[in-house]
């Protein structure tokens, strides 16, 4: 395994202008003829051509039509004596490969008797020898030949220019992509598929064909994906003036896929999980995920495909920006400010529960990394979600309009090119001269180069006589692997003030006479310590800091419970209103964990908190979705991140105790909430009605929990009835979850009946597996159940969705069940990492990350976790993927 360094980038020695690929598709022996025209890059000294290939059988190499001498150097096919000069060189390479043996699902593979490809990041080299790097952009012509009965649909990028029958029951299709692209955006699909079609006319008047391809029988689950695609096309044109640049845009769903979806030019390939939905099989969360993933892949058409990355270190150039765009898309589809705030809170929750731990752990890396061993390990929440926050800060520092102008300049400068994160940031700044971004650009770019989550500590000082209020800020960032010292970041901090007694928003004015206007002010921190003074502050204020989560930092402010209750009741900023509730719950949890570490007294929540939650739940104007977020306690993972030493069992029992307290103390309120939110009329997955279902589902869980604890049979019986009568999957699954989550005896028959109902629906079975593997542990019952699930006839470790639904739901999604004092969870983890690694290294390496935070664990967990890591690391033939993760964890 070699380490690739960002600093080592050099331009390619050759450019590839055109690629003409012919495939004779066969599951065990597919033949690939690759005819390319290349030319030397005049900016680089004359040198040999080195093409990379993996898992290929090489049959023939021709240069300008003649047999050529070449040598093999590891994975490289080396041609030393190519003609010099600037004439194009015709190169022809004939190889074969075995798609049916490709369990890694990278390159050309077979799933359910159909062919699919996945080339990002480095899968194209498993299809043919090539310059497999994103800065080599070529024009592609692709001819597919296959058995017509078995593979009636033959798809590739671009436009279909020819098709017809061949001998022996075979047929062909020829596709030409009008746009140059890097090879990681190549795709082909062949199989028995059917399509939902939609013709659209753009604002500019051009006509396009949209298609969603699925297996026969799944067409009734494609309406939402198609609607999401149409909405995406319209949004990108309206918000950023970016139209669809293809006559035809295709989405194809496959049930075997390593991640969510892939933005191949004109031919997006999706995990079925992010395409298929109808009300009987998909939950509201599934609907929302489909909308954002369809949007995300579509938005890549400009941010990623038209302008791509110079090298893989620039990955966030396309991923951070495209996540930002899909977040904005989903927010813009919301009907009101409250729904937008709910979306923002959900996004921040992902960042803080997944990315903050990554930034504090052994795999911490900058948004633009400096090195990697296996690039597939760097498709991370840092590159994606933190990268999106960095782009969001650029918008905050330039305004929405200013950011749109920056995007325009970015496309004017770089359309059709492979560029860097610097190129992007420079464009946004240059279009906004005079903005805080342009003023501090070099310092702002530390967000790209420094890893770790900055902490901002704030302290307030009120001078009642002078009517001034000063906020003192200081920022710091802990060391991360390879980066001991951090220089200050540019941190936009949105601030408001509330009257401590009145709860009213206080009008803001600054000492220098400038009026901040409205009730929020954006302070841009650039120094290690900095202060701001507000004048004419008529009453003692409570500060509302980091409104809307204006920067991806941890804010330390020593709020009293009373101050937090004021914010929870009054903050006009919905994000900070929610945050106040989270801080209150967190303070109680941390207090209980520390105070009674040796007892079982876990009465963590005080009366004021309970009363405040009742107020929120019964509030006459707040949205149900927002209420549900406020009433959701911080997760075990998030609580663990706030502690220096983590006892996962202690956290689990304290949090479960808090849940039972909320269930019991608010029982009458939950009954009211359920009664008033359970009926939503005809199913529609919009934010308003999904919020009502979420709150009703939460009420049901708490009612079932309280009743199970007290032995009252009434609510569990009602929940079972709800499970049977439900008109949609959201309500049905919420009821099932309520029974399983409370450990009630009715859970077992409900699970059995759910399985019988949906035995032919793979995505629903994934939920069935995940629910059981992720459920709350009561005395260690989860691990034996998980082991049982592995031998269930419907379990198949080769299918990534199924593997994730059982193994990841347990190892990564169920800390209380996974961290066992007897170390059996870790043994299970090490067995599965090694088993998966032999099948699919990318999936195995993801699972390996479940142990990232082992160094924070208390004994006996810590030693046992280390032992499990050492056991995996000792295996001789590990993939680079898993090797990099476990070595870094042990470093
Ligand atoms: N760009 C792909 C991810 C590819 C992952 C390769 N290991 C999907 C996306 O981000 O849209
Ligand atoms: Zn992406």
Residue 376 in contact with ligand 1 by CB distance below 6 A: yes
Residues 122 and 169 in one domain: yes
Q: What is the mean pLDDT of the chain?
A: 97
Residue 121 in contact with ligand 1 by CB distance below 6 A: yes
Q: Distance, CA 530 to ligand 2 centroid (Å)? A: 37
Instruction: Report the run of H or E that residue 96 belongs to, with start and end.
Output: strand 89-97
Question: Is there a domain that residue 428 lies in?
Answer: yes
> Residue 514: which pLDDT band, with cuts at 50, 70 and 90?
confident
Helical residues (DSSP H) of 729-781, grouped into ranges: 729-742, 747-757, 762-773
Nearest CA to ligand 1 atom 5: 120
Nearest CA to ligand 1 atom 9: 262
> Residue 515: which pLDDT band, with cuts at 50, 70 and 90?
confident
* CATH label of the domain that carries residue 384: 1.10.390.10
Q: Which two tokens stand for residue 175?
A: 């596709």
Q: Distance, CA 457 to ligand 2 centroid (Å)? A: 33
Looking at the CA of 185, which ligand is closest? 1
Tally of domains in the chain: 4
Question: Is there a domain that residue 58 lies in?
Answer: yes
Is 70 exceeded by the pLDDT of residue 687? Answer: yes
- Count of positions (residues) in the chain: 891
Residues 10 and 151 in one domain: yes
The domain boundary residue, chosen from 449, 483, 513: 449
- For a mutational test of ligand 1's pocket, the pick from 125, 182, 259, i.e. the residue with the most ligand atoms closer than 8 A to its C-beta, is 259
Q: Distance, CA 437 to ligand 2 centroid (Å)? A: 25
Residue whose C-alpha is closest to residue 262's, from 365, 181, 164, 357: 181
- State the virtual CA torsion across 143, 144, 145, 150 in degrees, nearest 10: -160
Provide long-range contacts, Cβ within 8 A and 24+ apart, for 394-398. 394/425, 394/428, 394/437, 394/444, 395/324, 396/492, 396/494, 396/522, 396/550, 397/435, 397/436, 397/437, 397/444, 397/490, 397/492, 397/524, 398/428, 398/429, 398/431, 398/432, 398/435, 398/436, 398/437
Residue whose C-alpha is closest to residue 508's, from 541, 550, 530: 541
Q: Distance, CA 121 to ligand 1 centroid (Å)? A: 8
What's the rounded Cα separation, in Å, for the pair 246 and 144?
20
Mean pLDDT in residue range 401-419: 98
Looking at the CA of 105, which ligand is closest? 1
* Peptide bond before residue 860 is cis, with ω within 30 degrees of 0: yes
Give the bridge partners for 368, in sequence order: none
Q: Which one-letter DSSP state was computed for residue 383?
A: I
- For a mutational test of ligand 1's pocket, the pick from 116, 257, 379, i.e. the residue with the most ligand atoms closer than 8 A to its C-beta, is 379
Residue 319 in contact with ligand 1 by CB distance below 6 A: yes
Mean pLDDT in residue range 139-147: 99
Q: Which one-letter DSSP state was computed for residue 445?
A: T
* CATH label of the domain that carries residue 497: 2.60.40.1840
Q: Distance, CA 270 to ligand 1 centroid (Å)? A: 10
The DSSP bridge pattern shows strands 159-165 and 170-176 to be antiparallel
Residues 36 and 71 in one domain: yes
Residue 498 in contact with ligand 1 by CB distance below 6 A: no
pLDDT, tens digit, for every residue of 175-215?
Answer: 999 999 999 999 999 999 999 999 999 998 999 999 999 99
Helical residues (DSSP H) of 678-746, grouped into ranges: 687-710, 714-725, 729-742
What's the rounded Cα separation, in Å, for the pair 628 and 673?
11
- For a mutational test of ligand 1's pocket, the pick from 262, 269, 377, 380, i.e. the residue with the most ligand atoms closer than 8 A to its C-beta, is 262
Question: Is there a domain that residue 240 lies in?
Answer: no
Residues 470 and 536 in one domain: yes
Residue 426 in contact with ligand 1 by CB distance below 6 A: no
Q: Distance, CA 268 to ligand 2 centroid (Å)? A: 11
Residue 262 in contact with ligand 1 by CB distance below 6 A: yes
- Nearest atom of ligand 1 to the alpha carbon of 296: 11
Instruction: Report the run of H or E that residue 396 belongs to, with start and end.
Output: helix 387-398
Q: Which two tokens stand for residue 103?
A: 């369990």
Question: Is there a domain that residue 590 lies in?
Answer: no
> Residue 600: which pLDDT band, with cuts at 50, 70 and 90?
low
pLDDT for residue 598: 52
Give the bridge partners for 116, in sequence order: 109
What's the rounded Cα separation, in Å, for the pair 413 and 71?
40
The 3-state secondary structure of 197-231 reads: EEEEECCCCCEEEEEEEECCCCHHHCHHHHHHHHH
Over its C-alpha atoms, the chain yields an Rg (Å, rounded) of 28
pLDDT, tens digit, for every residue of 830-882?
Answer: 999 999 999 999 999 999 999 999 999 999 999 999 999 999 999 999 999 99
What's the rounded Cα separation, in Å, for the pair 157 and 140?
8
pLDDT, tens digit, for every residue of 324-374?
Answer: 999 999 999 999 999 999 999 999 999 999 999 999 999 999 999 999 999
* CATH label of the domain that carries residue 876: 1.25.50.10
The 3-state secondary structure of 319-372 reads: HHHHHHHHHHHHHHCCCCHHHHHHHHHHHHHHHHHHHHHHHHCCCCCCCCCCEE
Residues 186 and 96 in one domain: yes
Q: Distance, CA 315 to ligand 2 centroid (Å)? A: 9
Residues 173 and 321 in one domain: no
Residues 71 and 110 in one domain: yes
Residue 297 in contact with ligand 1 by CB distance below 6 A: yes
Nearest CA to ligand 1 atom 7: 376
pLDDT for residue 843: 98
ipTM passes above 0.95: yes
* Peptide bond before residue 121 is cis, with ω within 30 degrees of 0: yes
The domain boundary residue, chosen from 163, 192, 221: 192
Question: Is there a domain that residue 544 lies in?
Answer: yes
Residues 427 and 471 in one domain: no
Give the bridge partners for 93, in sequence order: 34, 61
Give the bridge partners for 137, in sequence order: 182
Residues 420 and 510 in one domain: no
pLDDT, tens digit, for every residue of 704-713?
Answer: 999 999 999 9
Nearest CA to ligand 1 atom 1: 262
DSSP string over 840-863: -HHHHHHHHGGGTTGGGBPTTHHH
Residues 508 and 393 in one domain: no
Q: Distance, CA 120 to ligand 1 centroid (Å)? A: 6
Residue 666 in contact with ligand 1 by CB distance below 6 A: no
DSSP string over 246-303: -SEEEEEEES--SSSEE--TTEEEEEGGGT---TTT--HHHHHHHHHHHHHHHHTTTB
* Distances from the Cα of 874 to the Cα of 80, 715, 890, angstroms: 40, 51, 12
- For a mutational test of ligand 1's pocket, the pick from 261, 295, 322, 881, i.e. the residue with the most ligand atoms closer than 8 A to its C-beta, is 261
- Nearest atom of ligand 1 to the alpha carbon of 319: 10
Mean pLDDT in residue range 662-677: 98
Nearest CA to ligand 1 atom 4: 120
Is 90 exceeded by the pLDDT of residue 597? Answer: no
Residues 857 and 814 in one domain: yes
Residues 439 and 489 in one domain: no
pLDDT, tens digit, for every residue of 27-82?
Answer: 999 999 999 999 999 999 999 999 999 999 999 999 999 999 999 999 999 999 99
pLDDT, tens digit, for every residue of 228-283?
Answer: 999 999 999 999 999 999 999 999 999 999 999 999 999 999 999 999 999 999 99
The domain boundary residue, chosen from 558, 580, 612: 558
Residue whose C-alpha is closest to residue 851's, from 821, 817, 811, 880: 811
Is 60 exceeded by the pLDDT of residue 453? Answer: yes
pLDDT, tens digit, for every residue of 781-821?
Answer: 999 999 999 999 999 999 999 999 999 999 999 999 999 99
> Residue 486: which pLDDT band, with cuts at 50, 70 and 90?
very high
Residue 379 in contact with ligand 1 by CB distance below 6 A: yes
- Nearest atom of ligand 1 to the alpha carbon of 258: 7
Nearest CA to ligand 1 atom 3: 262
Residue 707 in contact with ligand 1 by CB distance below 6 A: no
* Distances from the Cα of 4 to the Cα of 1, 221, 341, 632, angstroms: 10, 43, 40, 43
Which residue shows structure tokens 């496309």? 411
Q: Distance, CA 271 to ligand 1 centroid (Å)? A: 11
Q: Phi then psi for 309, rounded to 5 degrees?
A: -90, 140
Contact 64/82 with Cβ under 8 angstroms? Answer: no
* Distances from the Cα of 103 to the Cα of 258, 435, 813, angstroms: 10, 50, 25
Q: Distance, CA 763 to ligand 2 centroid (Å)? A: 22
Residue 447 in contact with ligand 1 by CB distance below 6 A: no
Report the first-to-last Cα separation within the chain, whole angstroms: 17
Nearest CA to ligand 1 atom 10: 319
Is 90 exceeded by the pLDDT of residue 601? Answer: no
Question: Is there a domain that residue 542 lies in?
Answer: yes
What's the rounded Cα separation, in Å, for the pair 738 and 700?
6
Question: Is there a domain that residue 626 lies in?
Answer: no
Is 90 exceeded by the pLDDT of residue 779? Answer: yes
Residue 843 in contact with ligand 1 by CB distance below 6 A: no
Contacts of residue 752, Cβ cutoff 8 Å, sequence gap at least 6: none
pLDDT for residue 746: 98
Give the bridge partners for 164, in sequence order: 172
Which residue range is the domain that position 484 belongs to?
455-558
Is 90 exceeded by the pLDDT of residue 1? Answer: no
pLDDT for residue 595: 82
Question: Is there a domain that residue 287 lies in?
Answer: no
**Which residues are known catalytic residues?**
297
């Amino acid at each position: 395994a070699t380490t690739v360094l960002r600093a080592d980038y050099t331009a390619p020695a050759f450019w590839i202008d055109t690629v003409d690929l012919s495939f004779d598709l066969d599951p065990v022996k597919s033949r690939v003829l690759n005819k390319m025209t290349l030319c030397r890059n005049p900016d680089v000294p004359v040198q040999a051509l080195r093409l990379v290939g993996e898992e290929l059988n090489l049959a023939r190499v021709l240069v300008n039509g003649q047999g050529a001498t070449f040598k093999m150097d590891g994975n490289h096919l080396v041609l030393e004596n190519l003609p010099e000069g600037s004439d194009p060189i015709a190169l022809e390479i004939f190889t074969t490969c075995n798609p049916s043996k490709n369990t890694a699902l990278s390159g050309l593979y077979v799933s359910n008797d159909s062919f699919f490809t996945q080339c990002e990041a480095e899968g194209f080299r498993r299809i043919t020898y090539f310059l497999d790097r994103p800065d080599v952009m070529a024009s592609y012509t692709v001819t597919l030949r296959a058995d017509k009965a078995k593979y009636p649909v033959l798809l590739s990028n671009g436009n279909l220019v020819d098709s017809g029958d061949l001998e022996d029951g075979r047929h062909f299709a020829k596709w030409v992509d009008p746009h140059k692209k890097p090879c990681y955006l190549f795709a082909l699909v062949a199989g028995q598929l059917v399509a939902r079609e939609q013709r659209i006319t753009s604002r500019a008047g051009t006509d396009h064909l949209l298609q969603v391809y699925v297996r026969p029988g799944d067409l009734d689950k494609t309406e939402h994906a198609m609607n999401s695609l149409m909405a995406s096309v319209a949004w990108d044109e309206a918000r950023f003036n970016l139209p669809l640049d293809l006559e035809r845009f295709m989405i194809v769903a496959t049930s075997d896929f390593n991640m969510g979806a892939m933005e191949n030019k004109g031919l997006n390939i999706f995990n079925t999980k992010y395409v298929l939905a109808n009300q009987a099989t998909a939950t509201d969360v599934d609907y929302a995920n489909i909308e954002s993933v369809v949007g995300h892949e579509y938005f890549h058409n400009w941010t990623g495909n038209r302008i791509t990355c110079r090298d893989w270190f620039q990955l966030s150039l396309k991923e951070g920006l495209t996540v930002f765009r899909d977040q904005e898309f989903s927010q813009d589809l919301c009907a009101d400010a409250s729904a937008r705030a709910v979306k923002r809170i959900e996004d921040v929750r992902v960042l803080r529960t997944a990315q903050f731990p990554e930034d504090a752990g052994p795999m911490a890396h900058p948004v633009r990394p400096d090195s990697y061993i296996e690039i597939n390990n760097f498709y991370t929440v840092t590159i994606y979600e933190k990268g999106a926050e960095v782009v969001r800060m650029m918008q905050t520092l330039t305004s929405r309009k200013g950011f749109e102008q920056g995007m325009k300049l970015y496309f004017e400068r770089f359309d059709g090119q492979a560029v860097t994160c610097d190129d992007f940031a420079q464009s946004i700044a240059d279009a906004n001269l005079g903005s805080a971004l342009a003023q501090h650009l070099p310092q702002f770019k530390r967000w790209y180069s420094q890893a770790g989550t900055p902490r901002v500590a704030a302290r307030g000082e009120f001078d009642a006589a002078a009517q001034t209020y000063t906020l003192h800020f200081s920022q710091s960032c802990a060391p991360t692997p390879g980066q001991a010292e951090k220089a200050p970041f540019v941190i936009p901090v949105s601030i408001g003030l509330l009257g401590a007694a009145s709860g009213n928003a206080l009008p803001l004015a600054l000492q220098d006479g400038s009026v901040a206007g409205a009730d929020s002010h954006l302070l841009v921190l650039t120094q290690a310590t900095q202060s701001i003074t507000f004048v004419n502050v008529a009453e003692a204020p409570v500060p509302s800091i980091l409104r809307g989560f204006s920067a991806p930092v941890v804010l330390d402010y020593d709020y009293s419970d009373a101050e937090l209750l004021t914010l929870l009741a009054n903050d006009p900023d919905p994000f900070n209103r929610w945050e106040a509730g989270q801080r209150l719950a967190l303070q109680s949890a941390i207090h209980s964990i520390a105070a009674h570490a040796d007892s079982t007294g876990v009465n963590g929540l005080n009366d004021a908190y309970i009363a405040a939650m009742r107020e929120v739940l019964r509030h006459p104007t707040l949205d149900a979705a927002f209420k549900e977020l406020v009433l959701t306690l911080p997760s075990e993972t998030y609580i663990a991140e706030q502690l220096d030493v983590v006892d996962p069992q202690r956290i689990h029992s304290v949090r479960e105790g808090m849940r039972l307290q909320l269930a019991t103390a608010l029982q009458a309120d939950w009954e009211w909430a359920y009664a008033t939110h359970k009926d939503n009329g005809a199913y529609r997955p919009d934010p308003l009605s999904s919020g009502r279902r979420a709150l009703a589902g939460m009420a049901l869980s708490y009612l079932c929990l309280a009743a199970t604890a007290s032995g009252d049979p009434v609510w569990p019986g009602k929940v079972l009835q709800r499970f049977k009568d439900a008109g949609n999957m959201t309500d049905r699954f919420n009821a099932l979850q309520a029974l399983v989550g409370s450990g009630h005896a009715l859970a077992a028959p409900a699970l059995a009946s759910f399985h019988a109902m949906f035995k032919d629906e793979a995505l629903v079975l994934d939920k069935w597996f995940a629910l059981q593997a992720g459920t709350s542990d009561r005395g260690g019952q989860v691990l034996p159940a998980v082991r049982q699930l592995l031998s269930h006839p419907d379990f198949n470790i080769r299918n990534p969705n199924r593997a994730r639904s059982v193994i990841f739901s347990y190892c990564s999604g169920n800390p209380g069940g996974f961290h066992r004092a007897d170390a059996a969870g870790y043994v299970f983890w090490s067995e599965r990492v090694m088993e998966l690694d032999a099948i699919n290294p990318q999936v195995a390496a993801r699972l390996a990350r479940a142990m990232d935070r082992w160094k924070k664990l208390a004994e006996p967990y810590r030693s046992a976790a280390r032992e499990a890591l050492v056991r995996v690391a000792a295996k001789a033939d590990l993939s680079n993927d898993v090797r990099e993760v476990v070595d870094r964890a042990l470093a």
